[in-house]
């Protein structure tokens, strides 16, 4: 019961966490985008309304100021009289305040007669006189604290400013209209956000529940319940995921069984060199005479066994990759003959120390490059040469050659040992198979070599040579796929 409660609690936490991440990563960016859209729309609407009002006032102010400038003769009395007449007949005084000001910023004539003699104090008046061009102001009226829009246009006669025409309008209605427009945009954005939120919640709930079930199944598998199967009730990608989980569960069970067999098969092979290394190490340490000959012999054995152990470990790692599909090639244009000759020259000196002669015969023509993995192919060459010395070293001779035959580059390595029993030949490339051979090793080196050559679309053949000994033939296509 406690475990079931913990599972339910973990499932709830998993669902909550996944839903939160989905909301943060999917819905939150949309919300931020909608907020930015509302802000930009608000700025655009404000600019549209205020800009339209400003341009309309500027056109009217400029036209009136130009008319005054053309007919004004320079007399203050005439200027005052004309301004008064125009203000009295101004038809839009209910919504627009018309003002004529002196160059010092004092109101001379006002359409409403309420501000005559006052100084508005806004910057558009002084700027219009100083710059001699129309100027606008939007903000708080210093006198009434009302939000206004004003336009001041200089009245120019004979190249000098004789006064200022100013149009003023309150922005209360415009602000209200802008607020309503922005509120409508915000409402639409809120509705969109609500729809997005609802649809995402429905979607994530439909996704999270089966994911939680799969997560629970995966935990059971990881806890050792191999072979656990999940009921598949879906026909979409989730159904495919369930099938993959079920297949994975069966595969893990098979792999566990194979792992046990694998460990059992190689444990003896790994124990032998370790025993030799440990034994000779203790012998050298316990030798009171420190006999140089004995010590040198022991160190040589330790080195040889270490080398064999390293080779087996590398083979096991390659075999593990080959079994689970991680065994891949790094294909590139390469000189096969050069790589093969490198392996020949490397082993020639090692074989000489064991009184084995290595004869190499190159073809009479230069071989063209092929597509292959140099490191993997050199691994094959070294493994085959090492096997030739290990199993056929009694013949004291190994022959190696490379030629071209029927569009294939062919490498042959032959030893002059006892050869392979005919009954063992069909199985020598199988994993762990060693047949009647008493030589130590993991029994998977040839299986790895065969896999490497197959990945190169080539052939790997092992046979007994006429006259005794074993011959290995490696065929690789000149033009790689």
Work out the number of other CB atoms within 10 angstroms of the CB of residue 186. 17
Strands 357-361 and 397-405: parallel
The CA distance from 170 to 150, in Å, is: 9
The yes-or-no verdict on residue 434 having pLDDT over 80 is no
Split at pLDDT 50, 70, 90, the class of 433 is low
Long-range CB contact pairs, 59-68, < 8 A, 24+: 60/167, 61/134, 61/151, 61/152, 61/153, 61/165, 61/166, 61/167, 62/134, 62/153, 64/153, 64/165, 65/134, 65/153, 65/154, 65/155, 65/156, 65/165, 68/155, 68/163, 68/165
CA distances from 412 to 225, 384, 403 (A): 50, 10, 9
What is the per-residue pLDDT across 179-212, written as a single tens digit (0 to 9) for each?
898 899 889 989 988 888 888 777 777 777 777 7
Give residue 474's pLDDT: 94
- Please identify which residue in the block is written with the tokens 């608000």: 42
* Joined tokens for residue 108: 């001379």
Give residue 22's pLDDT: 72
What is the per-residue pLDDT across 227-249, written as a single tens digit (0 to 9) for each?
677 777 777 777 787 788 788 87
Q: Apex CA 121: angle with CA 155 and CA 101, to 5°?
A: 25
The yes-or-no verdict on residue 14 having pLDDT over 70 is no
Where is pLDDT greater, at 204 or 334? 334
Phi/psi for 347 (5° steps) reads -85, -20
Phi/psi for 315 (5° steps) reads -65, -40
Give residue 325's pLDDT: 67
Give residue 262's pLDDT: 58
DSSP state of 92: T
CA distances from 335 to 58, 346, 391, 436, 449 (A): 84, 17, 29, 37, 19
The yes-or-no verdict on residue 12 having pLDDT over 60 is no
How many CA atoms, within 13 angstroms, populate the side-chain half-sphere of residue 232?
Answer: 15
The yes-or-no verdict on residue 2 having pLDDT over 50 is no
The rounded mean pLDDT for the chain is 80
Report, as an integer, the average pLDDT of 3-24.
56
Give residue 149's pLDDT: 92
The yes-or-no verdict on residue 169 having pLDDT over 60 is yes
3-state helix, strand, coil in the chain (%, to 5): 60, 15, 25
The yes-or-no verdict on residue 404 having pLDDT over 60 is yes
Give residue 1's pLDDT: 44
* Helix/strand/coil (H/E/C) assignment for every residue in 309-375: HHHHHHHHHHHHHHHCCCCCCCCEEECHHHHHHHHHHHHHHHHHHCCCEEEEECCCCCCCCEEECHH
The yes-or-no verdict on residue 115 having pLDDT over 60 is yes
* Joined tokens for residue 370: 């092929």
Give residue 13's pLDDT: 46
The yes-or-no verdict on residue 217 having pLDDT over 70 is yes
What is the per-residue pLDDT across 257-307, written as a single tens digit (0 to 9) for each?
656 655 666 676 577 677 778 887 888 888 777 778 778 888 877 887 787
Give residue 263's pLDDT: 66
Domains and CATH numbers, the chain: 74-175 (3.30.450.20), 237-323 (1.10.287.130), 332-477 (3.30.565.10)
Enumerate residues 6+ apart whose C-beta is below 8 A from 182.
Answer: 38, 41, 42, 45
Give DSSP secondary structure letters for 17-83: HHHHHHIIIIIHHHHHHHHHHHHHHHHHHHHHHHHHHHHHHHHHHHHHHHHHHHH--S-HHHHHHHH
Q: Apex CA 199: angle with CA 195 and CA 204, to 5°?
A: 145
- Please identify which residue in the block is written with the tokens 């060199």: 273
Q: Cβ distance 435 to 464 under 8 Å?
A: no
The yes-or-no verdict on residue 5 having pLDDT over 50 is no
The percentage of the chain sitting over the pLDDT mark of 90, rounded to a whole number, equals: 12
- Please identify which residue in the block is written with the tokens 């004092």: 106
The CA distance from 345 to 360, in Å, is: 9
Give residue 269's pLDDT: 59
Report, as an integer, the average pLDDT of 159-167.
85
DSSP state of 475: E
Split at pLDDT 50, 70, 90, the class of 441 is very low
What is the per-residue pLDDT across 348-376, written as a single tens digit (0 to 9) for each?
888 888 888 999 988 777 788 899 989 88
Q: Cβ distance 252 to 221 under 8 Å?
A: yes
What is the per-residue pLDDT across 57-99, written as a single tens digit (0 to 9) for each?
999 888 888 877 776 656 677 778 878 888 888 878 788 888 8
Enumerate residues 6+ apart whose C-beta is below 8 A from 352.
Answer: 358
Where is pLDDT greater, at 433 or 53? 53
pTM over 0.85: no
The yes-or-no verdict on residue 413 having pLDDT over 90 is yes
CB-count burial class (<10 Å; 0-12, 13-18, 19+) for 445: buried
**Max alpha carbon distance in the chain (Å)?**
139
DSSP state of 283: H
What is the per-residue pLDDT across 451-481, written as a single tens digit (0 to 9) for each?
889 989 999 999 998 888 899 999 999 864 4
The CA distance from 322 to 448, in Å, is: 8
Report, as an integer, the average pLDDT of 333-341.
91
Enumerate residues 6+ apart whose C-beta is below 8 A from 148.
Answer: 137, 138, 139, 140, 141, 168, 169, 170, 171
């Amino acid at each position: 019961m406690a475990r079931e409660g913990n599972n339910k609690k973990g499932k709830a936490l998993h669902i909550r966490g996944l839903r939160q991440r989905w909301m943060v990563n999917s819905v939150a960016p949309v919300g931020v985008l909608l907020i930015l859209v509302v802000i930009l729309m608000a700025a655009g609407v404000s600019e549209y309304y205020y800009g339209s009002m400003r341009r309309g006032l500027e056109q009217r102010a400029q036209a009136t100021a130009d008319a005054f400038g053309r007919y004004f003769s320079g007399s203050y009395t005439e200027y005052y009289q004309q301004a008064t007449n125009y203000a009295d007949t101004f038809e839009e005084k209910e919504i627009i305040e018309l003002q004529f000001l002196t160059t010092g910023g004092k109101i001379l004539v006002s359409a409403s007669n309420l501000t005559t003699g006052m100084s508005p104090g806004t910057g558009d008046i002084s700027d219009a006189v100083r710059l001699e061009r129309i100027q606008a102001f939007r903000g708080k009226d210093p006198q009434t604290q009302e939000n206004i829009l004003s336009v001041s246009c200089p009245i120019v006669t004979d190249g000098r400013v004789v006064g200022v025409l100013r149009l003023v309008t309150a922005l209360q209605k415009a602000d209200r209209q802008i607020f309503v427009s922005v509120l409508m945009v915000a409402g639409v954005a809120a509705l969109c956000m609500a729809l997005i939120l609802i649809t995402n919640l429905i979607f994530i709930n439909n996704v999270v529940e089966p994911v939680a079930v799969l997560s629970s199944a995966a935990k059971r598998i990881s806890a050792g319940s191999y072979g656990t199967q999940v009921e598949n009730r879906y026909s979409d990608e989730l159904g495919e995921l369930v099938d993959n989980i079920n297949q994975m569960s069966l595969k893990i069970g098979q792999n566990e069984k194979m792992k046990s067999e694998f460990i059992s098969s190689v444990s003896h092979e790994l124990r032998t060199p370790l025993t030799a290394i440990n034994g000779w190490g203790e012998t050298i340490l316990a030798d009171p005479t420190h006999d140089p000959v004995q010590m040198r012999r022991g160190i040589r054995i330790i080195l040889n066994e270490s080398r064999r152990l390293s080779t087996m470990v590398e083979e096991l790692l390659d075999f593990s990759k080959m079994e689970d599909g991680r065994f891949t090639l790094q294909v590139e244009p390469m000189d096969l003959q050069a790589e093969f000759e490198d392996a020949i020259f490397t082993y020639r000196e090692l074989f000489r120390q064991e009184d084995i002669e290595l004869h190499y015969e190159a073809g009479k023509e230069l071989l063209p490059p092929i597509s292959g993995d140099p490191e993997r192919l050199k691994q094959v060459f070294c493994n085959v040469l090492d096997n030739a010395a290990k199993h056929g070293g009694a013949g004291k001779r190994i022959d190696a050659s490379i030629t071209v035959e029927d569009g294939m580059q062919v490498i042959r390595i032959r030893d002059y040992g006892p050869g392979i029993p005919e009954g063992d030949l069909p199985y020598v490339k199988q994993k762990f198979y060693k047949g009647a051979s008493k030589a130590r090793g993991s029994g998977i080196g040839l299986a790895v070599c065969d896999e490497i050559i197959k990945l190169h679309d080539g052939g790997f053949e092992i046979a007994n040579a006429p006259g005794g000994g074993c011959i290995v033939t490696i065929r690789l296509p000149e033009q790689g796929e």
